[in-house]
Amino acid sequence: MNYLITIIGPTAIGKTALSIALATQYGCDIISCDSRQFFKEMRIGTAVPSDDELSQATHHFIQNKSIFEEYTVGDFEKEAIAKLEELFITNNIQIMVGGSGLYVDAVLKGFDTFPNIEPTIREEIQKKYDKNGIEYLQQKLQELDIEYYNKILSENPQTLQNPQRMMRFVEVCIGTGKPYSSFLNKDKNARNFTPIIIGLEADREIMYDRINQRVDIMINEGLLAETEKLYPNKDLNALQTVGYRELFSFFDGDFNLIFAIEEIKKNTRRFSKRQITWFKRSENAIWFDYKTDVSKIIDVINTKIKH
């Protein structure tokens, strides 16, 4: 049986150090699923592991793409699963680490698959939304898929105010003639591994202090110069990232530098809260305080592994 030890948790909590310790323990590789560490032009602001850390274990999907390439979570899912199949041939235990919840889910569970929808349908829905507002989309979803509308209402009501997601739900209903909910949880790719999910957490004050310290370190290591090089391409999707956006505003003259740095800290703290909310939904995750001795975590993992 194959096992994918998956380390989750908010930014700056210590996931990299734990992943290297576990990779050393089990003699395996590390799959990174941090959606910004893929890009080779973004090193300091994405907290890419240091050269010393990278030398301690074989890492995959770190600085392997360019910001000028289109790279989706679906692309990552395919490449990561292919890499894991290759790695499991020689070692039935592998490590995955990262703070991008969507990318973690892509590898562990796969995505629901939907048929292609004619672009003209989306265009027509867009026109009606522009004319009638979000109420049109809400009403249409109620008509076409009351089951899914009620699910959103009870579980995640803010989604009803998100026009992009609502347009997607409606276009699938109209384009296929079937409820959006009928496509959920169907035909997900089978996985040839059992996940062992390890979460790291800390008290909020500690977590925020670690984030503030990390931002200061990034600034000292040259984040300003790195961002200045990227500034001409600031509208690229990959660069719509905390740490870069705020400094782009500094270069635009909207912020002074001190304010921009404080904005990075504030927005990173907000990002960490969203990460926690996402990861706390993870089924069967085993949570540890960030200071827990690695040996204790290894003991727990070993109880999950059937030799």
Residue 74 among known ligand-binding residues? no
Residue 268 among known ligand-binding residues? no
Residue 265 among known ligand-binding residues? no
Only one residue has tokens 């349908």, namely: 121
**What is the token pair recorded at 129?**
């939304």
* Cβ neighbours for 274, distance < 8 A, ≥ 6 positions apart: none
The pTM score is: 0.79
Residue 99 among known ligand-binding residues? no
- On whether the CB atoms of residues 37 and 62 are closer than 8 A, the answer is yes
Residue 49 among known ligand-binding residues? no
113-160 tens-digit pLDDT: 777 788 889 999 999 999 999 999 999 999 999 999 999 998 888 889
C-alpha span between 179 and 169 (Å, rounded): 9
In the chain, which stretches have pLDDT less than 50? Answer: none
* Rounded alpha-carbon distances, angstroms, from residue 90 to 26, 93, 192, 223: 12, 9, 14, 39
Residue 15 among known ligand-binding residues? yes
264-302 tens-digit pLDDT: 999 999 999 999 999 998 889 999 999 999 999 999 999
Residue 17 among known ligand-binding residues? no
Q: What letters, b where the CB count within 10 A reaches 16 and e where it falls short, cover 212-244? A: bebbeebbeeebbebbeebeeebeeebbebbbb
C-alpha span between 62 and 273 (Å, rounded): 24
Residue 258 among known ligand-binding residues? no
C-alpha span between 11 and 93 (Å, rounded): 24
Domains and their CATH numbers in the chain: 3-111+189-214+280-304 (3.40.50.300), 119-183 (1.10.20)
SS3 71: coil
